[in-house]
Amino acid sequence: MFNSLVAQSKFLIVPAALVVCGGVAYGSLFAANKIAIESGFPFVAYTFWQAMIAGLVLLAFAVARGDVPKVSIIHLRQYGLMSLLGVVVPVLVLTFIADKLPAGVVTLIIGLTPSLTYLFAFILGRERFRWLAVGGVLFGFASILLIVLPEQSLAVSGSAVWLVVALLVPLSVAINLLVISYLRPPETTTVSLVCGLLLSAALITFVCMLVSGEAYVFWNASGPGIWAMVWASAGQLVAFIAGLEVARMAGPVYVSQMNYVIVGSGFVWALVLFDESLSIWVWTAFVLIFLGLTLTNLSALRAAKR
């Protein structure tokens, strides 16, 4: 028994480290987005360049190790779905609202992802009804009400509308987690999958950039904008590799712990870089998000043990 526990603990060291690294990296993106948009970087072009740079860097690595992304129908479908749900929609939305909401509030919204993932899985018949998970969903939605309903919770007039737009991010990410869990092609490595995902996202956003008339080369941006783009590219690369690798090693239940780190690190980044002053309503919502995450993950762990 003791030897089994020791072996299990050693096995979880790598996934735990990846959860922390991936969460800190993704949590920093909200700050990078804010810097890029405030420096005048067009948001569609910004989304394209960060996906393109990250994808090309990973492609060079994949070619060097002989792990080029596969191009079968099933793989192309997976790349397309994951790029739309995991990169294009979240990054476009986050970049678009970066200068419309405090970075800490935007970060908070991401904490709804585990609760929404359970809710969608339950609706699809993939999860059983569990009281703890339902409690997590209710805490998550209560946190949103605490931000939207009190007039003093958000400093900028009309922010409630942008908060509703921000909800597209956890919705999209939650659906993407279901796609990763139930549709991942067998014998597909994390490197090739993330590479295909990023390059597909770059292709989609490139078309969007041309259609919107925002054709833009990144070296025309200001210094802060370029550094924010490089920062976001590195953050996405680390976060996606860490997340998919944890899902492969320890399953979707364990990878959902990354949301703790994303929310916490996002708040820290916002406080350090922007000295944001958040209302008591937002801080209370922050506590409710963590309570919801705790209940959701306890429920998932109990289900896994059964």
**Helical pair 89-96 and 190-211, crossing angle rounded to 10 deg:** 50
Mean pLDDT of 39-58: 89
Q: In the chain, what are the domain boundaries?
A: 24-305
Q: Residues near 50 by Cβ (< 8 Å), separated by ≥ 6?
A: 91, 229, 232, 233, 236
Contact indicator for 92, 49 with CB cutoff of 8 Å: no
Cα separation, 70 vs 76, whole angstroms? 8
Please return the burial class of 158, using the count of CB atoms within 10 Å of its CB with bins 0-12, 13-18 and 19+: exposed
User: Which tens digits make up the pLDDT trace of 56-113?
Assistant: 999 999 999 888 888 888 888 888 888 888 888 887 787 777 777 776 677 667 767 7
| Ramachandran area for residue 193 (φ above 0: left; ψ -120 to 50: alpha; else beta) | alpha
Which two structure tokens, joined as six digits, stand for 95?
Answer: 């970049």
Least confident among 2-6, 23-27, 188-192: 2-6
pLDDT of the residue at 295: 72
Please return the burial class of 192, using the count of CB atoms within 10 Å of its CB with bins 0-12, 13-18 and 19+: buried
Please calculate the CA angle 255-285-106 and round it to the nearest 5 degrees: 65
pLDDT band at 235 (very low <50, low <70, confident <90, very high): very high
Positions of E strands within the chain: none
Q: Residues near 232 by Cβ (< 8 Å), separated by ≥ 6?
A: 29, 32, 33, 36, 46, 50
pLDDT of the residue at 199: 92
Which two structure tokens, joined as six digits, stand for 234?
Answer: 């590195």
Name which of 74, 80, 85, 84 is nearest 175 in CA terms.
85
Three-class secondary structure of residue 68 per DSSP: coil
pLDDT band at 154 (very low <50, low <70, confident <90, very high): low
**How many beta carbons lie within 10 A of that of residue 222, not counting itself?**
14
pLDDT of the residue at 10: 47
Q: Residues near 32 by Cβ (< 8 Å), separated by ≥ 6?
A: 228, 229, 231, 232, 235
Which one has a higher pLDDT value, 202 or 263?
202
Which one has a higher pLDDT value, 247 or 170?
170
pLDDT of the residue at 54: 93
Contact indicator for 225, 41 with CB cutoff of 8 Å: yes
Which one has a higher pLDDT value, 39 or 14?
39
pLDDT at 292 over 80: no
User: Which tens digits make up the pLDDT trace of 186-206?
Assistant: 778 888 889 998 999 899 889
Helices (H) and strands (E) in the chain, counts: 15, 0
